[in-house]
Amino acid sequence: MSTSTTDRVALVTGGSGGIGRAVAERLAQDGLAVAVHYAGNRARAEETVAAITAAGGRAVAVGGDVADENAMSAAFDAVESAFGGVDVVVNTAGIMILAPIATFDLADLDRMHRTNIRGTFVVAQQAALKVRPGGAIVNFSTSVVRTQLPSYGAYVASKAAVEGLTLTLARELRGRDITVNAVAPGPTATPLFLDGKDDATVANFAEATPLERLGRPGDIAEAVSFLAGPARWVNGQVLYANGGLA
């Protein structure tokens, strides 16, 4: 049972679609007011806000480049202005570009790492300054850090950095009563994962788990809900939400 109450506030980066939208909607169901962050697609963020408010929740949309410290400082200020503070920050914003390391385009490397590493760092930095006691910071890694599939090298490098940042920040926030963890999803049926994969490839990923299916965005949102609410004794950890994928 969630310990979330109606005076708690969450900011979900990348909250306008895929896993981010599922997380925003789940936290709203848990009773949190939710700020749905978007980078460029305000209309999709407003759709998420509308879905939350139609279900009786409270939500606003906030925009900004996660890698821009001024934009994210303004986003946090907007959340505090709307709801009075910030208790939970969930970093779902990220991009994935796949190619072998030997032929990986370095411009793509820089673009991906700007969002996945710098973006997570900037948001985590703001969270470390502004999250209230009793709060939680949840970053996003990937199960491929452990499975190490070919063509995922650059993406894994960015997410391994997120794990290192997460575990260090948990220790730096000693005495603040703020937990810092990461969720590492397995193959999940989102546009980010499905893009560019044929049916056979998707089927192989589904069969790789003992549960013999892809994850659903709601499965990942459930893990975030746990870390954001009742899991006050889980800190400095990476939670693999992947259906038992090795």
Pair of tokens at residue 223: 């893990």
CB 59 within 8 A of CB 53: yes
Look at residue 15 and give its three-state secondary structure.
coil
Residue 62 CA to residue 6 CA, distance in Å, equals: 20
Q: What is the mean pLDDT of residues 13-26?
A: 94
Give, in order, the Cα–Cα distances in Å from 98 to each of 62, 161, 212: 29, 17, 24
Q: In this structure, is the dihedral angle defined by the CA atoms of residues 113, 118, 123 and 128, taken in order, positive or negative?
A: positive
Q: Which residue has the higher pLDDT, 3 or 17?
A: 17
Q: Is the predicted pLDDT of residue 191 greater than 80, yes or no?
A: no
pLDDT score of 92 more than 60: yes
CA distance 118 to 137: 16
How many domains is the chain partitioned into structurally? 1
Residue range 39-91, pLDDT digits in tens: 989 999 999 999 999 999 999 999 999 999 999 999 999 999 999 999 999 99
* CATH number for 16: 3.40.50.720
Q: Does the residue 206 lie in any domain?
A: yes
Which residues are the active-site residues?
A: 155
- The pTM for the full model equals 0.93
Cα distance between residue 61 and residue 43, in whole Å: 9
What is the C-alpha end-to-end distance of the chain, expressed in Å? 28
- Average confidence (pLDDT) over 138-154: 94
- From 217, 229, 157, select the one nearest 193 (Cα to Cα): 217
Q: Identify whether 4 is part of a domain.
A: no
Residue 218 in domain: yes
1 located within any domain: no
State how far the alpha carbon of 32 is from the alpha carbons of 56, 203, 206, in Å.
Answer: 11, 36, 32
Residue 110 sits in which domain range? 9-241
- Residue 3 in any domain: the answer is no
